[in-house]
């Protein structure tokens, strides 16, 4: 089975997806175990550790990148030339804190694609079914830095 690190460029300590749990044509469910030794807990409310909301959002965005990777590859797109770049975050709602030892279940769905722009939604809950986050977001597929244009102009 293909690893998450083969699909997206993120690496520890900034990788917030452990595994894929389920997949359909336009949706993906992933899992992330929140480890007590995570570096961010050292400074984010010492004595009362809470995962920063922006990192919970990042887990959703990384799960979205995995979904896009799998879809684009299936469509035959040259993934070495494209990087999904976050362009918009809307409707973010945090419902419960995430603490060391929690297991996050992350659902992402592709709502619409308009050329190189993709509109997605995501949600996070804990394995014991506490709602954590809902968010809508969009990404643009941009040329990967350092790659020549797909159709270079003739000299």
CA distance 123 to 101: 19
CA distance 17 to 30: 7
Both tokens of 49, joined, read 């550790």
Task: Please report the sign of the dihedral spanned by the C-alpha atoms of residue 79, residue 85, residue 88, residue 94.
Answer: positive
Give every CB contact of residue 97 below 8 A, 6+ residues apart in sequence: 50, 51
Which of 10, 15, 31, 44 is flagged as catalytic? 44
CA distance 70 to 4: 11
The question of whether 44 is a catalytic residue gets the answer yes
- Active site members: 44
């Amino acid at each position: 089975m293909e690893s998450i690190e083969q699909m997206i460029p993120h690496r520890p300590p900034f990788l917030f997806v452990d595994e894929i749990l389920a997949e359909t044509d336009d949706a993906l469910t992933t899992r992330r175990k929140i480890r007590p030794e995570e570096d961010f807990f050292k400074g984010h409310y010492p004595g009362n550790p809470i995962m920063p909301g922006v990192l919970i959002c990042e887990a959703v965005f990384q799960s979205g990148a995995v979904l896009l990777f799998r879809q684009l590859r299936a469509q035959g797109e040259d993934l070495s030339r494209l990087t999904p770049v976050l362009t918009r975050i809307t409707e973010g709602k945090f419902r419960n804190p995430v603490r060391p030892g929690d297991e996050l279940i992350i659902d992402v769905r592709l709502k619409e694609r308009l050329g190189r722009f993709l509109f997605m939604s995501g949600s996070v809950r804990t394995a014991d079914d506490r709602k954590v986050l809902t968010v809508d977001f969009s990404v643009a597929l941009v040329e990967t830095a350092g790659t020549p244009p797909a159709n270079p102009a003739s000299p």
